[in-house]
Structure formats: C-alpha cells, structure tokens
Structure 1
Amino acid sequence: MDYQNILFAVEDGIATITINRPKALNALNQATVSELKDVVEKVAADKAIKVVIITGAGAKSFVAGADIKEMASKNAAEGREWGQFGQNVFTEIENLPQPVIAAINGFALGGGCELSCACDIRYAAENAKFGQPEVGLGITPGFGGTQRLTRVVGRGHAKELIYTGGMIDAEKAKAIGLVNEVFPQEELMPAAVKLAKKIAKNAPIAVQLSKAAINRGINCDVVTGIAYEAEVFGLCFSTADQKEGMAAFCEKRKATFEGK
C-alpha cells in the first residue's frame, strides 16, 4: 500500500509511524485508519523491528480525534461499523509484539487520546492537550476510550474526562498517570528515541513476553495472571538470548542478543 496519510520509517530496529495530516490536525479519517492498519500489520510481521514510536506530523497535534466531517452523516449501523473498525486497529496496536511508545506532540483528543492509550508508554510535549470531547458532539468515545482510558487513569479521572468533555494539559496528564514524562517540544522525539534504544538493547523475546504477560494479566485476576507469568518465565529458558544474557552476566561482559 502506498501511504498518503502516514509516514513510516525504520532505523536501527526502531519503527516510527507518523500520522501525516497536519492541515487537519492529523484527524483520523477512514483512509488514515486503513493505512494505520496496514502498517501495523507489517510491523507485527517484521522481527527486525524491536520498538515502535507513534507520533503526529507538525508541532500542533498528535491526533485531534476522528474526522468529524466524515462521521457527521453516518447512520447507526455505519457508526457502529466505524467504531468497530477503529477499535480493531487500536487493539492490533495494543497487541503488537513490540513495545509501542506514543510521542504526543500536541492535541490528543478523542481518537488521539484513545490511540495514545493503546500504546505501552506515553511521552508528551509541554504543549500537549488531552481529552475525550465526544459527549459534546452527541456521541460516546468509540475507539476504546471508555475502556482503555479507565484502565490507564482509573475510574474517577476517566469519568471526569469523558463526562465533561474537557481538556487537560500535559502536566495534569502526568499527575493522573496518563503520560509517563513531559518534555519541551524540541526534546520530545529525541527522548522517545532514547527510550526506544534503551528498550531495544535488551533481549527482544523477553521484552515481548513481558508485554504479553502485562497485557493479559491486567484483564484477569491476579492468580491467573501470575500463572501466565510463570509460563512465559519458563519459556524464556528455551531461548538462546537467556543463555547469552546469563553467560554475559557471569563473565562480566555486555550481552549480544539476537532474538532467538
């Protein structure tokens, strides 16, 4: 697929996906979500990619929601289908084997906030704004916001954001756990890349199994979660990376991981 609304680059095992509709504040229309689905599936199948960064083009917006002009004329069936399509793509992002970092460079509203919540780690620029303004348009969040935002920040904060349709700034977002760190705009992408490199130097299989255990465990009881953890912990001992990592530790040298 030739991308018209997304930029995609891979360097040193780090993939960068940029939503590229700056004139529309990177709003998500059908074409953009379709392209996002395609690129995410490519990333999932590429074992050379160890970490993913998702960001928005320009200095104003990460993703300022779904494209309202495109949504305005939908009927109930079409609205449900659109919501399910977006949910499915965001679930693919959440379930990518590789860790995903959101570099939030401006507005993260509606679908943009929902996209960030589908990522593993969120870094924000100082000018970032977060919100779920859907109720002011006569709709609910539709790309997973009622579920993922609640899991990230807790019921009280999620309900306040969703019920009021208001916005919060980056520092407030950090205070409630919606973002990990806040940076000046010009430092955001270097910080995200630095984090990605720090993750990428570790054993890829171990990182990916850790992600799987966290994601699965958070949706079940703790006994089931730790049972799954025991399984992936044991599975690691069948890998060459485990042998290399422990040998390197005992020999007081840096490990060289191959993802095997």
Structure 2
Amino acid sequence: MSALLRRLPRIGNSSKTCLRLILRETREQTSAPTPRCGAGLCAGSLTAFSPAQSRGQHTEAVDPLEVDLRRLEGEDDGIVEVLMCRQKARNALGHMFVSQMRELVSSLSSDSAARVVVFRSLVPGVFCAGADLKERALMDHTESDLFVHGLRSLMTQIALLPMPTIAAVDGVAVGGGLELALACDLRTAASSAQMGLIETTRGLLPGAGGSQRLPRTIGITLAKELIFTGRCVGGLSALQMGLVNRSVDQNQTGDAAYREALSLAREILPQAPLAVRQAKEAMNRGVEVNISSAMAIERMCYAQVIPTQDRQEGMAAFIEKRPPRYTGK
C-alpha cells in the first residue's frame, strides 16, 4: 500500500485548493434563469434533445427543473441518462434537487426497459459540488440531521437500482457529489476532474454513505487517508487507487468522461439484461456476507435466469454461431 501511495501524484495543498474551488462555485450565481434540461442544451453539454425525450410531466412545473431524464434511441435504445442541471448552484444537493432526483430514481427502479443508467452533469466543470451550503446554513440541528438522513436514503436508492449505473465525472465531485458517484456501480472520470470527501475540512464526516462506500471501493487504509485529510485527487490518481474504472484526458467540449461512460454503457447494452441484473444482485449482496452465504446467494440468482428466454437465446446463438438477440424475457 505504501508503495502505491508513493506512486500516486500529489497536488500541493490540494485539500485547501479543492475547498476554495467548491466554496467559490457554490457561491456563484448567474443572472440568467436556470435552463430547462428537457428544453435543449445546458451550457457545455454535447447532445441536444427534444422535450418529448425528457419527462413530460414537468413541462408545466413552476419549479425549475434541476434533474431530468433522457432515453437514448436507435442502437443506444436501453441506455438512460440522468441529467443534473442545477446551473446556478453547480448541482449542489439542495431540497429541490434531491426531491427531483429521488422521483427519477424511484421511477427507474421498476423500469424494465432501462438496461444501463448514466449519471451525468450538464453544468460545465462540475459533476456535483456536494451540499448546498446556503440551504444548510438555514437549518437547525434537527433539520440538518433529517436532511442528511434523506441524502443517505437517496444514495441507497441509487445503489439499489437493479440495472448497472455509471457516473460520468467530468469535473468537481466532492462531499455528497462523490458520495453520489460512489453509489453508482461504475465511474469514469476526466483526468482533470477533482474528487474527494472533504467533510472533515468543514468539521463534519461523510454522512451520505461515503464513510462506508469509499473503504469498500478502494480499501480501508487509503480511504482513511483521504477522509482524514479531506484531500482531493485527480482522475489519474483516482484510476490508480481504484476509485474510478476509467480515466481519460478531457476534451474541448468538456464531456470526455461522459463519452467514456457512453462507450462503457454500449459494451454492457448487448448482454442479456436479466443476467446482468442478477449478476449485480449476486455481487452486491454477496460482498456483504461470508463466502458460504455468498455462494448461496449466487445459486439463488443463477436460478432466476435458468428459465428465461434470454438464456435459451444465448445457447441457440452460440450453437448457430450468430450474435444473440436478447429481449429481457
């Protein structure tokens, strides 16, 4: 482990630099109204889409749309994107943002057509800037505790989604922002991205699952170092320590991690969706118990795919030497 830490690139005063960056970004306010995700491009995004492709039930909403849903079509049918576009507050986790995210995640939990879900930001330079400090400052102790409990519940909702989830980190992901990414199964990051659980620099500790998911992702010793110091790491360091699955150089449009996440989603998309979901279930449940119990969980999950049409199609495709055509049945 010490050898690994020596190889990881260090950023001088990175915790302070990262904290100043986040505080500045969460304080910034733009004079223009928050763009509606479903109505077109938020600044810095790549792919335009029509209102019909997003959630129609919000078209008459009075509140600004801070989180939206987009379903890809054609060869990418089955890939669903959760779009975070709280432009003014850099996707900070405020009441409205969390409420809209909870609604979307709840709808996805029973969505059999969604094979892969990609969480991405349409706000340039940021994935999610963590807690909304302005809202938090207005809460008393009880309100703050209840709100953080709600955040923890949301991250659990995301982690329990039955299909694979990918976080595309194209910018800053700190505090609750990194906890959101950790709740996803896979993560891609631009090399220029900055990630960290910086709560100790504010007199807190990670409260939305970060103190539990980070050690399970990168190992407890390294997780302790990052949480104790509040240090941020870049995309390359995150890849070396296993925090992200893939790291790529940022491109001119600022969406390199999203493009890599889409590439990863396209690798998952052709596989049998029921088998992929059961594989996720087996791994998520099995890692929390002893090996004997884990084997029993694997057996139960395996039994779920035996009677499926997809399994029969997979066998037939192999014998006939052709690509399988899975239907999720």
Q: How would you bin the TM-score normalised by the shorter chain?
A: over 0.9
TM-score (norm 2): 0.77
Unaligned runs of 5+ in 1: none
User: Which structure dedicates a bigger proportion of its chain to strand?
Assistant: 1
TM-score (norm 1): 0.96
1:223 is displaced (CA, Å) by 1.2
Query: Is residue 54–residue 102 contact of structure 1 (8 Å, CA) maintained in 2?
Result: yes
Q: Which amino acid aligns with 2:116?
A: V
Any idea what SS the aligned residue of 2:188 has? strand
Name the structure 2 match of 1:252: 321
CA distance in 2, matches of 1:61, 1:148: 21
Any idea what SS the aligned residue of 1:24 has? coil
- The ranges of structure 1 where at least 4 consecutive aligned residues each deviate by more than 3 angstroms after the TM superposition are none
Query: Is residue 68–residue 104 contact of structure 2 (8 Å, CA) maintained in 1?
Result: no
The count of aligned residue pairs is: 260
Query: Is residue 54–residue 103 contact of structure 1 (8 Å, CA) maintained in 2?
Result: yes
CA distance in 2, matches of 1:25, 1:84: 22
1:167 is displaced (CA, Å) by 0.9
Q: Does 1:211 align with 2:280?
A: yes
Name the structure 1 match of 2:154: 89
1:126 is displaced (CA, Å) by 1.5
Larger Rg: 2
Any idea what SS the aligned residue of 1:45 has? coil
Q: Work out which of the residue numbers 178, 182, 201 in structure 1 matches 2:243.
A: 178
Q: Does 1:60 align with 2:125?
A: yes
Q: Work out which of the residue numbers 178, 181, 198 in structure 1 matches 2:267.
A: 198
Name the structure 1 match of 2:48: none
After superposition, where does 1:106-185 map in structure 2 within 5 Å?
A: 106-185=171-250
Name the structure 1 match of 2:165: 100
Query: Is residue 109–residue 129 contact of structure 1 (8 Å, CA) maintained in 2?
Result: yes
Any idea what the Cα deviations from partners look like across 1:145-188, whole Å, max 9, x if unmatched?
11111111111111111111121111111111000111123332
Name the structure 2 match of 1:80: 145
Name the structure 1 match of 2:7: none
Q: Which amino acid aligns with 2:304?
A: L
Query: Is residue 131–residue 168 contact of structure 1 (8 Å, CA) maintained in 2?
Result: yes
Name the structure 2 match of 1:38: 103
Q: Does 1:51 align with 2:116?
A: yes
Q: Which amino acid aligns with 1:218?
A: V
Greater shift after overlay, 184-193 or 126-135? 184-193
Any idea what SS the aligned residue of 1:141 has? coil
CA distance in 2, matches of 1:170, 1:69: 28
- What is the aligned-residue RMSD (CA, Å)? 1.3
Q: Does 1:233 align with 2:294?
A: no
Query: Is residue 179–residue 209 contact of structure 2 (8 Å, CA) maintained in 1?
Result: yes
Name the structure 1 match of 2:36: none
Any idea what the Cα deviations from partners look like across 1:202-230, whole Å, max 9, x if unmatched?
10000000001111011111111111101
Residue 59 to residue 185, structure 1, CA distance change in 2 (3 Å) = farther
Query: Is residue 169–residue 258 contact of structure 2 (8 Å, CA) maintained in 1?
Result: no
* Identity within the alignment, %: 38
Greater shift after overlay, 82-91 or 66-75? 66-75
